[in-house]
Amino acid sequence: MPRLSFLALVAVGLSLAATAAAGAEGVVARQGMVVAQETRAARVGVEVLQQGGNAVDAAVATGFALAVTYPRAGNIGGGGYMVIHFASQMAPGGGAVHGTTRAIDYRETAPAAVTRDVFLDANGEADPEKSRNSALAIGVPGTVAGLALAHARYGSGRFTLGELIAPAIRLARDGIPIEDDVADSLPRARPRLARWPASAKVFLKADGSVLSPGDPLVQSDLAETLAAIARDGPRAFYQGAIADKLVAAVRAAGGVVLIEMLNILEGYQDLAGDHVRHLHLMIEAMKLAYADRALFLGDPATVTVPVAGLTSKAYAARLRERIDAERARPPADISRAARCARATTPRISRWSTASATRCRTPRRSTSATGSG
């Protein structure tokens, strides 16, 4: 294998380069250096170098470790780039070629079902919420495939992919204490983490507060996923049980609620001409859809989500009948009706009928702007 210079840039929240850490006066290394956003992951890379690995081996090991130790950016659900510079390489006719560089692009790709209008609102304008905070914004992750490709093509050959992933598996399975960047970022991320049962189980306490500095962060599900990749390669992530769960979670967690809201709103005409009316109806539709999310959506591994019913046009029409075009309905009334409806009718196809006949709640006069 050609000798590699110790330079590899990986845009998955990690950076390996012969440079000093931010804020440090300066660091000098004669044989190699690993710089990463999180200390434990950097140490994993250093150990690989000490065992005879090259820069790519260290980058791959550090990348998978960051999936555990730096969850807000170093995760395997994203993508990135890797730039590899060869200090020297033998040319086909003999002699060294200096300065050869290779790049791997493993950024996320758009799902097959995406359309050009997916991030537009009813008026054809860009909707930042759709592109930032909905399942529509989720791309097909490239990290696992990219790191595996880098290892296969440019690794030293001294380590299997599984051996490079092994430290990350141990960190996820045994747990690490909450500290540094994770301790700082968790409080800000709490509202988003609380939205999904799977993330709440890992990062939140029973009372809904985030893990505190010193608390153990144990990621058993991630450890199992990494173990599958280590055992079977990247196909374990992109095909089979793990991929099926990812697809089901994306469809259930974000797309269902958005489709339900859009189905409700498409029954109204001329929304573009009256901004106040448009905003009021959109808020009311969101109340109904989010009430359904709270009751019906969850981890597909443990919850059967009635996707077909929630996204049906007929169901949206029934929900539309519950919206007062002039008055806002208090969220408490919507939540109470939804709980009653679910208790009396287990099938989503009959839910709207039950809510109309068995779960009526008195209307209260409330201004649209006062509903929150």
pLDDT at 195: 80
Q: Cα separation of 17 and 28, whole Å?
A: 12
**Average pLDDT for residues 143-157, to the nearest whole number?**
95
- Tens-digit pLDDT profile for residues 78-94: 999 999 988 876 555 55
- Tens-digit pLDDT profile for residues 35-44: 999 999 999 9
- Tens-digit pLDDT profile for residues 178-207: 999 999 999 999 988 988 788 899 999 999
- Tens-digit pLDDT profile for residues 330-346: 877 776 655 555 544 33
pLDDT at 104: 95
Q: Cα separation of 54 and 48, whole Å?
A: 8
At what angle are helices 161-174 and 39-50 packed, to 10 degrees? 150
In Å, what is the CA distance from 7 to each residue of 57, 78, 150?
11, 22, 13
pLDDT at 309: 84
pLDDT at 362 over 60: no
Q: What percent of the chain has pLDDT over 70?
A: 76
Q: Cα separation of 189 and 192, whole Å?
A: 6
Q: Output 157 or 365, whichever has higher pLDDT.
A: 157
pLDDT at 20: 34
pLDDT at 56 over 90: yes
Q: What is the DSSP letter of 272?
A: G
Q: Cα separation of 33 and 46, whole Å?
A: 7
**Average pLDDT for residues 22-28, to the nearest whole number?**
62
Instruction: Please report which residue ranges of the chain form alpha helices under DSSP H.
Output: 39-50, 55-69, 128-133, 143-154, 161-174, 180-194, 197-203, 220-232, 235-238, 241-250, 256-265, 275-296, 307-310, 313-321, 331-344, 351-357
pLDDT at 372: 27
pLDDT at 370 over 80: no
Q: Cα separation of 323 and 325, whole Å?
A: 6
pLDDT at 145: 95
Rounded to the nearest angstrom, the gap between the alpha carbon of residue 111 and the centroid of all alpha carbons in its chain is: 14
In Å, what is the CA distance from 128 to each residue of 119, 134, 137?
8, 10, 10
Q: Output 357 or 125, whichever has higher pLDDT.
A: 125
Which phi and psi (to 5°) does residue 11 adopt?
Answer: -90, 60
Task: Classify 105 as helix, strand or coil.
Answer: strand
For 239, left (φ over 0), alpha (ψ -120 to 50), or beta? beta
pLDDT at 360 over 60: no
Q: What is the mean pLDDT of the chain?
A: 78
- Tens-digit pLDDT profile for residues 260-291: 887 888 888 776 667 788 888 888 888 888 88
